[in-house]
Structure 1
Amino acid sequence: MGCTCDEERDHAAVEFCRDVEKEVVSGITLNIIMWPIISALFCYVAYTLNTTGLPYVFIDEKFHVDQTLRYLRGEWSSWNGKITTPPGLYLLGWLQYHATRFVSNWSTLSVLRLTNLVGGLIVWPWVVLRPMYLFHALGFWPVTLMCFPLMVSYYFLYYTDVWSVIFIIESLNLALVLPFGETCSIWLSALCGLISCFFRQTNIVWNVFIMILVVERRAMIQKNFNNLSFNNYLKLFLHSLENFHSLVLPYFINFALFLIFLVYNRSITLGDKGNHVAGLHIVQFFYCLMFIAFFSLPVWFSKQVTLSYMIRFVMNPVKYILELFGIMLIIRFFSVVHPFLLADNRHITFYLFKRLIGRGQLVKYWVMAPIYHFSTYIYLEVMRPSTMIFHPILPIEVKDPIDLPFQLSNISWTALILCTFMTVVPSPLFEPRYYILPFIFWRIFVTMPPEPFWGNAEGTVTATKRHLSEFAWFMLINVMLYIIFKRVDIKWETETTLQHIIW
């Protein structure tokens, strides 16, 4: 039946048999069944929003729509000074409008919003996620990541986030799956990585991560990685020099072009530079890990994880207290409260900060610091069993990078943490949209554990229940946010239409 035997993590080393064949077949079947149902539901939500619920531009849409309309009028040199991102979305919107302008009864806003709906419901699960899923069926379900709450909200709006994610994760997909052969796939991966930067500049950091993966997956085979981390770093560096033209150059071109952009623009931000000044907002990293721990609850929740965290505290309370003290110091000296956060009550973060994170010294330090500590532990602990372990002497048996599992080594795992840090910490604004890519990159490389939510795994087990729970968890969050969006009306003196709450 295709069983593999594993050991439960840490303190409960009980062998069990994982029915891989059953798990893969049931996963594929459920994905095929659920995709049209969820797509139809999202299409209905999009229809209601565009006809009665939200038939007008909402929050930042007014800037994005305005710029696209300028392009549609042929004003290619005109630029809205309030926009901070490059024109990738507006060029895509221009193409979308001309492709669907024959539908005469649709408003321009509806046509432009359709850009993200098509991307989220078709391109994202089928073009980007499906190839990786076929190589990593024990890790994630495409239909589940299609329902990731931080992305779903923007399927119905005209924002940059959906296609930013699509292009940079497609770059990852091409680099790992190599559908067009090694050379062509790597160059196409770099091209998709470059295009993604036209939707969000910080994607250049994720280009670095993907390049490291490309080099690493070949170096670990040809240079025989072992369990000595420092040696592996040296081997990676040497391999990158020896294969610069084939592995590094495609991404290096992106870095060179980005450097030219920085010199020319004198900032990473376009347009409204005054309200988007990069800084050292280290607490933002803890915000990100807190969101990742929250959304990944069905992935990590188990007796083993809970006990291991408690045992860690009991065995070394001094270390735990010192770590909490360090987090408190970061909260004290590296917290940034952006004026937009306190002024805009149309975002969940406004209420989260006002009623929890920033509510008095007691909550700010003595409640949030342990939450940040636990979230950091979850972020690291969940990935730990999914990282590669090398033999101290024997070489890797795999001889082709495409045959390597979807796992990170000590190098790429460190790179993922650093890239997450680099993309969120410079931003002064507490904005959940910035956590989409850190979560997606992390989640793709996590293998769903097969153990039950509470109790010991015995006999034959699968992770199907956890996958279903993750899907249900995402949909529950989506439904709750949609109810809040529909039922809570906010009146702004500066806006002629009713405002609502989104992420």
Structure 2
Amino acid sequence: MHKYLWPVLLPMLFLAYSLPLFLRVYATAPNVIDEEFHLRQGLHFCNKRFDVWDPKITTFPGLYLVSLILIPMNACTELGLRCISLAAATVNVVLLYKIRQRLLGGAHGQLAALDAITLAALPPLYFFSHLYYTDALSLTTVLLFYYYWHKESHLQAAVFAAASVLLRQTNVVWVGMCFAVLALDVLTGNYARVKRIKRQQVELLNPKTLFSMLTSYRLLGRSIWQILRKGCYYLIIILPFVFFVFLNGSIVIGDKRAHEATLHVPQLFYFSIFALIFGVSNTLHELRPTLRWLAREKLIVLFLLGVGLLIVKWNTIVHPYLLADNRHYTFYIWNRFYGRYQWFKYAMVPFYIFALALLHSGLQHMRTSFKLMFWIAVLLVLCFQRLLELRYFLIPFVVYRLHTQPLAKSRWAEWLELSCYVALNALTFYIFFTKEITWQNFNEPQRIIW
């Protein structure tokens, strides 16, 4: 019964409390920060002016191509364009439920529903679901791709994977992650059959195991054939994208100077704090195991602290946008703490190490291929971005949170997480509605957002 009830009830519930807020946001500010470019470009496409392109836009035109669905409805307006994000966010609730239920098992329908509505209410994600940005729709395509990938419907998965890259270039990393997990799982499964052991007994990161795999040419040949047969659709996306980056000289189009690829490892630290704070249930579940590990592995912890301090000292990059744009929360966090006190960025290193250890603990139940490729994907997505932007953390966090393991029959931690999200959303929208900022080059008052 619940299997069919939740996919209907969840989007209805999401729309019931989101639609009045959505209309209030539009009445308050029909144009928010980068929407100046997105809305204008969306209207060009919606009105079939495909030859017009704003050089300030750095993403592929996926969002604007989707906007063409408004033409038959005569809804090519700013409000109509924003409705695309709200519709995508509503679809996301169903996809989050289906993926979470699949990962937990069919007996956890209520928990999957709770986690789905919680993730849909993730404050930065929920806020941008009310604006004409790529975030909500980009997540929709990634979730569709991931859902079909889990079902091993690789052709359907590849279609949505391609759509996700059209919406945001960095989504190609998640396509690569899933292809790599598929490849490692095939190789591991074949190795286990040859050795007549269980797949779980294969120590993938053991140098002897790797050497044995790579020197068994018969095993490699059979595995490569199976990998190509299953994953060829993903390679059709990945290889041309690599060729595009080579020709373009950058992953972005348009304003490349503001988005130059630069090694920026502290982004991983900022993400760990983001996941620690917003992943309330996982943080509470993994607190004791993490503290026990930190107490047991003192030498490793000291080494990580030393490495963290060196990274912070030599690789902290401050993008000019972070210092100049007072319409984002990150501006205030940086200027009131990191920028004001020289010692603050070093004092945060123990918290970074703790947060990373806790996140790692939250994935211990997953197979090695996923853990390895997930963290590589996170590094690729985040650690070549100069700008500290919370929107970059959304898909990595959602993918992570979907795989966390509930540890208790009582769901108090999950309910607490949802309560925190609701309270933070209420505060965020209150600030957005009541706080105005005057910019000389804008006639309308500006407002603070994530």
TM-score by length of 2: 0.88
1:440, CA displacement in angstroms?
A: 1.2
Whether the 8 Å contact between 2:161 and 2:175 is mirrored in structure 1 is yes
Whether the 8 Å contact between 2:141 and 2:163 is mirrored in structure 1 is yes
Whether the 8 Å contact between 1:346 and 1:499 is mirrored in structure 2 is yes
For 1:86, the equivalent position in structure 2 comes to 60
- 1:249 matched to 2:232: yes
CA distance in 2, matches of 1:479, 1:62: 25
- The alpha-carbon distance between structure 1 residues 70 and 306, as it changes in their structure 2 partners (threshold 3 A), is closer
Post-superposition Cα deviations, 1:420-469, rounded to whole Å, max 9, x if no partner, equal: 0100011100001000111111111112221xxxxxxxxxxx14323322
For 2:102, the equivalent position in structure 1 comes to 135
SS at match of 1:243: helix
- 1:60 matched to 2:34: yes
For 1:118, the equivalent position in structure 2 comes to 87
Residue among 128, 137, 155 paired with 2:129? 155
SS at match of 2:342: helix
CA distance in 2, matches of 1:259, 1:312: 40
Residue among 402, 421, 426 paired with 1:444? 402
Q: Name the aligned partner's letter for residue 179 of structure 2.
A: M
- 1:342 matched to 2:342: no
- 1:100 matched to 2:47: no
Q: Which runs of 5+ in 2 are unaligned?
A: 193-198
For 2:180, the equivalent position in structure 1 comes to 212
For 2:446, the equivalent position in structure 1 comes to 499
For 1:475, the equivalent position in structure 2 comes to 422
- 1:41 matched to 2:17: yes
Cα RMSD (Å) of the superposition? 2.5
1:218, CA displacement in angstroms?
A: 4.6
Whether the 8 Å contact between 2:82 and 2:131 is mirrored in structure 1 is yes
For 2:372, the equivalent position in structure 1 comes to 414
- The alpha-carbon distance between structure 1 residues 76 and 119, as it changes in their structure 2 partners (threshold 3 A), is same
Post-superposition Cα deviations, 1:5-41, rounded to whole Å, max 9, x if no partner, equal: xxxxxxxxxxxxxxxxxxx97x998887665334211
Q: Name the aligned partner's letter for residue 71 of structure 1.
A: F
| Residues 368-377 or 352-361, more deviating | 352-361
Q: Name the aligned partner's letter for residue 90 of structure 1.
A: Y
1:223, CA displacement in angstroms?
A: 4.0
For 1:357, the equivalent position in structure 2 comes to 338
For 1:456, the equivalent position in structure 2 comes to none
For 1:268, the equivalent position in structure 2 comes to 251
Whose helix fraction is larger, Structure 1's or Structure 2's? 2
Q: Which runs of 5+ in 1 are unaligned?
A: 1-23, 179-184, 388-408, 451-461
Whether the 8 Å contact between 2:186 and 2:226 is mirrored in structure 1 is no
SS at match of 1:486: helix
CA distance in 1, matches of 2:413, 2:23: 32
- The alpha-carbon distance between structure 1 residues 306 and 168, as it changes in their structure 2 partners (threshold 3 A), is closer
Residue among 360, 368, 373 paired with 1:380? 360
1:163, CA displacement in angstroms?
A: 1.2
Post-superposition Cα deviations, 1:215-249, rounded to whole Å, max 9, x if no partner, equal: 44555545422242243793896664121432121
CA distance in 1, matches of 2:223, 2:425: 43
Whether the 8 Å contact between 2:280 and 2:413 is mirrored in structure 1 is no
Alignment of 1:306-345 (within 5 A): 306-345=287-326
CA distance in 1, matches of 2:210, 2:157: 24
SS at match of 2:276: helix
Residue among 257, 276, 293 paired with 2:276? 293
Identity of aligned residues (%): 25
- The alpha-carbon distance between structure 1 residues 238 and 258, as it changes in their structure 2 partners (threshold 3 A), is same
For 2:262, the equivalent position in structure 1 comes to 279
CA distance in 1, matches of 2:356, 2:176: 23
SS at match of 1:162: helix
CA distance in 2, matches of 1:334, 1:247: 40
Alignment of 1:447-458 (within 5 A): 447-450=405-408
Q: How many residues align?
A: 428
SS at match of 1:100: coil
1:172, CA displacement in angstroms?
A: 0.9
Structure scoring higher RCO (CA < 8 A, sep ≥ 6) equals 1
1:73, CA displacement in angstroms?
A: 3.5
Post-superposition Cα deviations, 1:327-378, rounded to whole Å, max 9, x if no partner, equal: 1110111111000000001111111111223331221112x11111111111
For 1:200, the equivalent position in structure 2 comes to 168
For 1:228, the equivalent position in structure 2 comes to 203
SS at match of 2:55: coil
- The alpha-carbon distance between structure 1 residues 276 and 298, as it changes in their structure 2 partners (threshold 3 A), is same
Q: Name the aligned partner's letter for residue 353 of structure 2.
A: H
- The alpha-carbon distance between structure 1 residues 134 and 364, as it changes in their structure 2 partners (threshold 3 A), is closer
Q: Name the aligned partner's letter for residue 290 of structure 1.
A: I
For 2:196, the equivalent position in structure 1 comes to none
TM-score by length of 1: 0.79
SS at match of 1:337: coil
- The alpha-carbon distance between structure 1 residues 252 and 463, as it changes in their structure 2 partners (threshold 3 A), is farther
| Residues 467-476 or 278-287, more deviating | 467-476
1:124, CA displacement in angstroms?
A: 1.1
- The alpha-carbon distance between structure 1 residues 227 and 263, as it changes in their structure 2 partners (threshold 3 A), is closer
